[in-house]
Amino acid sequence: MYPDRDFDLQAKGPWHEQALIQDLELDTLLDAMALGDAFLRQVAGRAILSSLTDPEVIRYRQEILKDCLRNPSIVREVYALTLDAIEGEKKVYWGLFHKYPDMILHRALEVMQLFVGMLKRLRGIADQHAPLFQSKGFATLFAMLEQELSDEYFATVERHLRELRFRNGVLISAELGKGNKGTNYTLCQPAENRQGLLGRLRPRRAPAYSFAIADRDESGARALAELKDRGINLVANALAQSADHILGFFTMLRTELAFYVGCLNLYDRLTQLGEPVCFPEPAAPGTGKRSFVGLYDPCLALTMKGRVVGNDLEADHKDLVVITGANQGGKSTFLRSVGLAQLMMQAGMFVAAESFSASACAGLYTHYKREEDATLRSGKLDEELSRMSDIADHITAHSMVLFNESFAATNEREGSEIARQIVLALLEEGIQVFFVTHLYEFAHALHRKKMGNALFLRAEREADGRRTFRIREGAPLQTSHGADLYEKVFGPDGR
């Protein structure tokens, strides 16, 4: 997932991630990516909320995802292989005496034998399908597998595993220490494994001195087992560490592939609904790029299980976008689609649009209206200002803030003045603002300023009151056409 480092699943997320999840309805998106798999959901959530800001790294991840979309069955096969390896390791029995070197060695042998089989399968997939992949990420993976998992490597590993089963006994050397106690126990390779053909043809030396332990001599058997444990202790630990190293490789491969498998799941869901997706064109933070065609809210499409209305926008070098218009005209949905597309782009994913181009942002923040404080310790306006203060404490230049009906908990004049001062302060710091509002004084005052970096949009409404759910460029109006909704519920006569 990165060209120069591993993906850290345990990395701490942004301080405001719960607000992002709630306001952008990310749970719906993550559920579609996970398909009930908790691990896929965890990885997808961490990847989406850990936004990339370097366009080159975004493109690096995009190219890998394009490979996955071209070869979904192969990617899923490799992912399933990592699951088999990890689950297989868990099933290898430790035994009652798992702290003893003999048991450690025995389990490490079984795990390594399992892993060798899995590595052979992985190498086979790489040999067969490597030419189908074009991204730098997969090319690096397959080249590493070809170089490090050679036939010679497998032959050497399997020979060592056979020797470590000690079918012909264990050869150990030791020295006498203080009080004639054994010290410096060393596991030795049997002579017949070290000598060549001429050595095996020479006459054997006289047999060494030996002794036998009686079948019922429990103390002798225990002493002999202790001697063996001392001799094999180092090799048992070394083999166990090797097994852990290979397990770590499968675990990391599973983690990084999980993100792409989640993207495949989401892609399948959206395309089955007939919705378009595209790979966005990312630009560096602060370059003022933002344009799209057919942008829609993927969470709404997933919830409705059908196609939804998309919107177009040309907002290059527009730092402020104010959206006004009719109630239930699609303003909040439009705002959510912008936020989701930004997060998906900066995760290296495709986005829910026909085309999309935007500058990466240093951080994405949401300030949505909330319900009344259940504890009654503060009013809605106090709560809104408190959240805005938290954002101000963390936000940096080239970030983006999405406001949805903010500061409407007080009267029109006060709410408009608060919103105006906050927005102008953010713009001065190089922060991009999208603001959905019914505060006419606020929107009209900004519109009168004729700011070159501002764009004003309005939810479209037909003459008969019908909502098209399209967002068009237009000046703010004094009415939100609430009467349309009243007549829809109560009828034209109010009954």
Report field, pTM of the whole predicted structure over 0.85: yes
Is residue 10 situated within a structural domain?
Answer: no
Q: How many CB atoms neighbour CB 181 within 10 A?
A: 9
Q: Which of 233, 254, 272 is the last residue of a domain?
A: 272
Convert 280-302 to b/e letters by CB count within 10 Å (16 or more is b). Answer: bbbbebeebbbbbbbbbbbbbbb
Same domain, 250 and 310: no
Number of domains in the chain: 2
Q: What pLDDT was estimated at residue 482?
A: 47
Give, for all 495 residues of the chain, the pLDDT tens digit. 999 999 999 999 999 999 999 999 999 999 999 999 999 999 999 999 999 999 999 999 999 999 999 999 999 999 999 999 999 999 887 655 566 788 888 889 999 999 999 999 999 999 999 999 999 999 999 999 999 999 999 999 999 888 888 777 777 777 777 877 777 777 777 665 555 555 555 555 556 666 677 777 677 666 666 666 776 777 888 888 999 999 999 999 999 999 999 999 999 999 999 999 999 999 999 999 999 999 999 999 999 999 999 999 999 999 999 999 988 899 999 999 999 999 999 999 999 999 999 999 999 999 999 876 555 456 789 999 999 999 999 999 999 999 999 998 899 999 999 999 999 999 999 999 999 999 999 999 999 999 999 999 999 988 887 888 999 999 998 865 444 544 554 455 555
Same domain, 221 and 326: no
Convert 18-34 to b/e letters by CB count within 10 Å (16 or more is b). Answer: ebbbebbbbebbbbbbb
Q: How far apart are CA 74 and CA 76, in angstroms?
A: 5
Q: Are 313 and 456 in contact (CB under 8 A)?
A: no
Q: How far apart are CA 331 and CA 472, in angstroms?
A: 11
Q: What pLDDT was estimated at residue 191?
A: 61
Q: Which amino acid is at 404?
A: N
* Positive/negative CA dihedral, 247, 249, 250, 251: positive
Q: What pLDDT was estimated at residue 376?
A: 44
Q: What pLDDT was estimated at residue 175?
A: 78
Same domain, 285 and 154: no
Same domain, 311 and 252: no
Is residue 388 situated within a structural domain?
Answer: yes
Same domain, 301 and 236: no
Q: Are 118 and 254 in contact (CB under 8 A)?
A: no
For residue 369, give its domain range. Answer: 276-490
